[in-house]
Structure 1
Amino acid sequence: MREPEVTYKPESLTASRPLLWGAAVLSLIMMAPVAWLVGLSIKSNQDLMMGTDSVFRFPYTLVNYLNILHSSQVFGWLLNSVIVATGHTLGVLVLSSLAGYGFARLEFPFRRTVFVIVLFGLAVPEQAVIIARHQMFSWLNLHNTYLGLMLPGFSSAFGVFLMTQFFRAIPKDIDEAALLDNASQFRIFWKIMLPLTLPAQATLGIFTFLGAWNDYWWPLISATRKEMYTLTIGIASSQTNFAQSEGLGFLAAQAVFASLPAIIVYLIFQRHIVTAVSGGAVK
C-alpha cells in the first residue's frame, strides 16, 4: 500500500509567517548585546574614551586582539579553563553514564529511594552548601588546584536523570539477547548500551562544558592565586579601573576571545542535541 503523499498548503505557510517574524525579531534582540560587544572590541580605546557611540562609526581596528596575543596571562587563564572544563565534562559523563545505567537497567535494594535522593540535588542551590564545601576543600588542601576546581561539578543530578531516562528508553530485548550470548553486565554497558547513548552524552557534554566554561561562583572562591584563575575570573579581575588601564575595547576583545571556544564546541556538536531531543538514538 502506497503511503499518502504529504502536501503543504499555502495557507499554512501564510499562517506561520507571524511566528517566523516574531522569532526573527526576538533573535535580533538577543543578538544585539553580542553585536555591541563585538563592535566595542574592534574600536580603539582612544575612541571609546570619548564616547561609546563611536562604535557605529569608522575606523575599526584589530589592535585589541593583537594585544591579547602579547598578553601571557590571558593564555594561561585560557589553558586553565580548558583543563577545568574538559575534566569537569569527562567526570560528569563517566559518573552520570554509570549511575544512569545502574538506575535504569540493574536491580538493587532501595534503587528507587536512592534515585529520588539523587533528584533532590536538583532542588538544592549551590549557595546552600558553599560554606561546607569551602571548609572541606580547605581541610583537604584542594584550593588553587585543578582537582579542586573540577571535583564539585562531578556530582550532576541532571546528568544522572538524563542518562537514566535515556537508558530506560532502550528496549530491554537488547540486554536479554546479550545475556544469552554470555556477555557480562559491564560488557553490555560498554559495548552495546553506551554507543546507543552517544546523542544523550553529546547533549550532556555540551551543556556541562558550557556551564563549566562560564562558571564564576566556585572558581572565584577556590582560585585565590592569579596563576590558577580561569578565564572568567581573570577577565573579571582585569575590569577594575579599565578606563585607566587596559581600556574598554581590550576588555571587550577578551570577552569575545573567551567565548570563541564555547561557540566552536557548540557548533560542532549541535546536531547531537537535535538527535537526542527527537529520540533518534534507538530505532
Structure 2
Amino acid sequence: MASAQQFVGRTAGDRVILAGVLVLAVAWLIPVAWVIVLSFKPNSELMFSTATVLHPPYTFKNYTDIIASSGVFRWLVNSMIVAGGMTIGTLVLSSLAGYGFARTEFPGRDILFVLVLLGLAIPEQAVIIARHQMFTDWKMHNGYPALILPGLSHAFGVFLMTQYFKAIPRDIDEAAMLDNASRFKIFWKVVLPLTIPAQATLGIFTFLSAWNDYLWPLISATKPDMFTLTVGMASTQTNFAQSEGLGFLMAQAVFAGLPVFIVYLFFQKYIVRAVAGAAIR
C-alpha cells in the first residue's frame, strides 16, 4: 500500500523513469527465467521443440547428472579458491597502490599512474602467449598460483581505489599524524575502513570475472583435477550438447551462476552505496 502511495506521489517524470526501469528489469529477467525453466525440462522433449517449456513434464535429472559427475565438486572448489584468492589479492594490492597514488608524493608518480592506466587498453588475448610461455618456463601450470597470479594485475582496481582515496578529505590523515600515527596505521585503521563500498564493488566485479573466466584456465589447467567450474562443465558437453542436451546445458549455466548470485545478494548494498557515492561526487 505504501509503495502504491509513493508511486502516486511522484512527479510525471519520476513515474516515466520508474516505469522504464521496471520494463528493463522485466526484459532482463525473462531470459534468466527461460534458462531456469529449460533446466528442468527433459532433454528428450527439448530435442523436438521448446514450445512446451511452460507445460509439464519437469525433471531434476539435469541437476542430478551434474552432481553425479565425478569431478564437479572438485571443479567447484577450484573455482572458489581461484576466484577467492584473486579477489583478496586484488583488493590488497589495489588498495595499497591506490593509497600510494592518492596520498603520497614520490618521483615519477604521475607517469607511473599513466602506465598503469594503459593496462586498461591492453586486451588479455594480446599477452596470452607471452604469459603462457612465462609460466611454462617457471613450471607453474596446473597449479593455483598460475591461475591466480595473472589476475592480480588489475589496472581498473588501482584506478578505482585511487579515485576513491582522493575523494576522502586529507584532513583525516593530518589529524591522525598529529596523534603520531604512522603512515601504515593511518591507511589501515583510519582511511581504509572508509573505502568499504568501493572495495565491495571491486571485489564483486573481480570475483565475477574470475569465476566466469574460461580462456586462461583452459590454457593453464590441462589436468582435470585443476579444472575450474567453467572449464570442467565445458569438458562434459558433447558435440551436440545444444541440440541433444539443451536442458543439461541450461542446468550447467544455473549451477555455475548460482554462487555468484549468492555473493551478490550479500554485498549488493555496498555496490548501491558505492554507485550512489560516485554519482554524488
- TM-score (norm: length of structure 1): 0.90
| Mapping for residues 248-259 of structure 1, pairs under 5 Å | 248-259=246-257
Which of 215, 218, 223 is residue 217 of structure 1 equivalent to? 215
The one-letter amino acid of 1:91's match is G
Task: Using the TM superposition, name which of 244-253 and 174-183 deviates more.
Answer: 244-253
Q: Which residue of structure 2 lines up, in the alignment, with residue 152 of structure 1?
A: 150
The one-letter amino acid of 1:20's match is L
Structure 1 residue 239 displacement after superposition: 2.1
How far apart, CA to CA, are the structure 1 residues paired with 2:277 and 2:248?
A: 44
Which of 169, 174, 177 is residue 175 of structure 2 equivalent to? 177
Aligned partners of 2:117 and 2:155 also within 8 Å: yes
Q: Which residue of structure 1 lines up, in the alignment, with residue 128 of structure 2?
A: 130
Unpaired segments of 5 or more residues in structure 1?
Answer: 1-7
The one-letter amino acid of 2:231's match is I
Which of 165, 185, 188 is residue 186 of structure 2 equivalent to? 188
Aligned partners of 1:96 and 1:160 also within 8 Å: yes
Q: Which residue of structure 2 lines up, in the alignment, with residue 118 of structure 1?
A: 116
How far apart, CA to CA, are the structure 2 residues paired with 1:40 and 1:128?
A: 37
1:78 equivalenced with 2:76 (yes/no) = yes
The one-letter amino acid of 2:195's match is T
Which of 201, 204, 222 is residue 202 of structure 2 equivalent to? 204
Residues 56 and 167 from structure 1, CA distance in 2 versus in 1: closer, same or farther, beyond 3 angstroms? Answer: same
The one-letter amino acid of 1:70's match is A
Task: Using the TM superposition, name which of 216-225 and 95-104 deviates more.
Answer: 216-225
Q: Spell out, residue by residue over 1:221-262, the C-alpha distance to the aligned partner (whole angstroms, 9 max, x if none).
A: 111112211111112222223559983222221210110000
SS at match of 1:240: coil
Q: Which residue of structure 1 lines up, in the alignment, with residue 45 of structure 2?
A: 47
Unpaired segments of 5 or more residues in structure 2?
Answer: 1-5
Q: Which residue of structure 2 lines up, in the alignment, with residue 93 of structure 1?
A: 91
Structure 1 residue 12 displacement after superposition: 5.4
Q: Spell out, residue by residue over 1:68-98, the C-alpha distance to the aligned partner (whole angstroms, 9 max, x if none).
A: 3322321111111101000000010000000
Q: Which residue of structure 2 lines up, in the alignment, with residue 62 of structure 1?
A: 60
Residues 176 and 20 from structure 1, CA distance in 2 versus in 1: closer, same or farther, beyond 3 angstroms? Answer: closer
* RMSD, matched Cα: 2.2
Structure 1 residue 10 displacement after superposition: 6.2
- What percent identity do the matched residue pairs reach? 65
Residues 129 and 243 from structure 1, CA distance in 2 versus in 1: closer, same or farther, beyond 3 angstroms? Answer: closer
Residues 74 and 242 from structure 1, CA distance in 2 versus in 1: closer, same or farther, beyond 3 angstroms? Answer: farther
Q: Which residue of structure 2 lines up, in the alignment, with residue 274 of structure 1?
A: 272
Q: Spell out, residue by residue over 1:132-168, the C-alpha distance to the aligned partner (whole angstroms, 9 max, x if none).
A: 1111011111111111011101010000001111111
Aligned partners of 1:242 and 1:248 also within 8 Å: no
How far apart, CA to CA, are the structure 2 residues paired with 1:113 and 1:256?
A: 44
Aligned partners of 1:77 and 1:229 also within 8 Å: yes
Structure 1 residue 190 displacement after superposition: 0.9
How far apart, CA to CA, are the structure 1 residues paired with 2:188 and 2:43?
A: 54
How far apart, CA to CA, are the structure 2 residues paired with 1:15 and 1:69?
A: 50
SS at match of 1:257: helix
Q: Which residue of structure 2 lines up, in the alignment, with residue 4 of structure 1?
A: none
Structure 1 residue 9 displacement after superposition: 11
Q: Which residue of structure 2 lines up, in the alignment, with residue 13 of structure 1?
A: 11
Which of 214, 236, 239 is residue 237 of structure 2 equivalent to? 239
Residues 185 and 130 from structure 1, CA distance in 2 versus in 1: closer, same or farther, beyond 3 angstroms? Answer: same
How far apart, CA to CA, are the structure 2 residues paired with 1:233 and 1:104?
A: 39
Residues 213 and 142 from structure 1, CA distance in 2 versus in 1: closer, same or farther, beyond 3 angstroms? Answer: same
